[in-house]
Structure 1
Amino acid sequence: MGHPQGNHTPAGGGGRAAEDFEIHICHHVGEFGDSVKIRERVKAAKQRFHANDNIAEFIQPGELESLLQEVEDKMKHVLESLVIDTDNDHNTNETAKRLAKMYIKEVFNGRYVTSPDITEFPNAERLNELMIVGPITVRSACSHHFCPIIGKIWIGVLPNENTNVIGLTRPDGLALVMEATHFCMAWRGVKDLDSRMINSVMRGAFLKDPILRREFLALIPQKN
């Protein structure tokens, strides 16, 4: 029988081919840096890592700085693909670095650092009446286009008279109203600068008691 047609590794060349393959794989993994390690840890723990998920527990000391450099390198390629001359344009010369810092240290920082501790206050007066705080300025980013979301929230709490006012123990009711501008609609897309999105979340007594819910909504300052 004749030999099958096609490319073949010469006799004795298998070791070199395997070595080249290993070098290629190592180089490929090296291109992704610590993000691959972090991702594999999250997957091994069977946890989710969507845009708004906190993954701080899977990041080891020093890896966040490494991630900064990795994102900067990737952003340089993005700018190159946008055909922007970052070498000679002084405005964009450091843009990749600034973008990496903005996403890792600022806009998405809540993904990479542990949540702050919650301070508990004893309910010495055994309060069980509605408390409202707001407006509180909030800033976030839309996960569709990474455009800013800027607005305000109002929080209502109905404490349990037998537990701490704020803490790990649950209040009898929790309510939240958020009004924000989504720049994915204001800056791009429909480009409507005046529209606002309003969301409300009601839990516990606020969900079950319409009178309490109306009281909370009535006490939130309304725009003219």
Structure 2
Amino acid sequence: MNRIVDKAMAAGLGNQPVAGLVRDADRLAMQEAAARKIEELFDVLMIDHRNDHNTRDTPARVARMYVEELLKGRFSPPPKLTEFDNVENCDQLIVTGPLDVRSTCAHHLMPIAGHAVIGVLPARDGKIIGLSKYDRIVDHFSSRLQIQEEMVKQIERFIVDHTAPRGLAVRVSAVHLCKTHRGVRASRASRMVNTSYYGELAADPQLKAEFLQECAMLERGLG
């Protein structure tokens, strides 16, 4: 238990990866320790998790959910990228999406749900990655405590660092339940949209306009 706490103290920010916490034994110890703390929280909130048939196993379920699902991106390595040679020297804009975004707000531990669209301007002599890898990249950086602005930049930085494109755009549109289910209790249609541009996509207004037009077409069927 102390070893886990020591590692947590050195882990850095809540949306950064934790080096070394990937072994099965570590995951199990984290779940058990977290379950005990959730039991304590239930006691404080006067929720009977010992006798209530609905909440008897909830602390263990919630702990497992955080370690194995909601925060898995912190404890697991990023996805391995399948690279293909750019045989035809493709140098035009490639847009993929909508890609599902399922994350957790770092401020209130409430869900963030939406989608991402990614635009890539590949280098003629560079590499092209497998299409499904963009879904895996988005899922990896979503699976941790996040604020949307930082998540978009993390996705962008990872793709740029590993594929060296001439340009890149990452756009996320999402509903934040910390806004719709508490506080102001905004409409469930209320969304946050932000985009980060890199390279030629940041510098060329026509490329930006083309990317946003493709986003509009991809998102039209979402309702």
Task: State the TM-score, normalizing by the size of structure 2.
Answer: 0.79
**Alignment: residue pair count:** 186
Tell me the distance in 2 between the aligned counterparts of 1:39 and 1:182: 26
Paired residue type of 1:179: S
Q: Which residue of 1 aligns with 2:17?
A: 54
SS in 1 for 2:201: helix
SS in 2 for 1:136: strand
- Greater share of helix residues, 1 or 2? 2
* Range with bigger deviation, 125-134 or 57-66: 57-66
- Alignment partner of 1:96 is 2:59: yes
Q: Which residue of 1 aligns with 2:78?
A: 115
Tell me the distance in 2 between the aligned counterparts of 1:60 and 1:107: 15
Tell me the distance in 2 between the aligned counterparts of 1:50 and 1:39: 10
Matches within 5 A, 1:42-81: 42=10, 49-55=12-18, 57-59=19-21, 61=23, 62-81=25-44
- Alignment partner of 1:160 is 2:142: no
Contact in 1 for aligned 2:22/2:75 (Cα 8 Å) = no
**TM-aligned CA deviation for residue 129 of structure 1:** 0.3
Higher relative contact order (CA closer than 8 Å, sequence separation 6+)? 2
Contact in 1 for aligned 2:22/2:76 (Cα 8 Å) = no
Paired residue type of 2:100: T
Q: Which residue of 1 aligns with 2:141?
A: none
Unaligned runs of 5+ in 2: 130-158
Tell me the distance in 2 between the aligned counterparts of 1:36 and 1:157: 40
Tell me the distance in 1 between the aligned counterparts of 2:181 and 2:12: 27
**TM-aligned CA deviation for residue 60 of structure 1:** 6.1
Task: State the TM-score, normalizing by the size of structure 1.
Answer: 0.79
- Greater share of strand residues, 1 or 2? 2
- Alignment partner of 1:131 is 2:94: yes
Tell me the distance in 1 between the aligned counterparts of 2:47 and 2:21: 33
Q: Which runs of 4+ in 1 moved over 4 A?
A: none
Q: Which residue of 2 aligns with 1:176?
A: 170
Which is higher, the Rg of structure 1 or of structure 2?
Answer: 1
Output the aligned Cα RMSD. Answer: 1.6
**TM-aligned CA deviation for residue 38 of structure 1:** 1.6
Identity %: 35
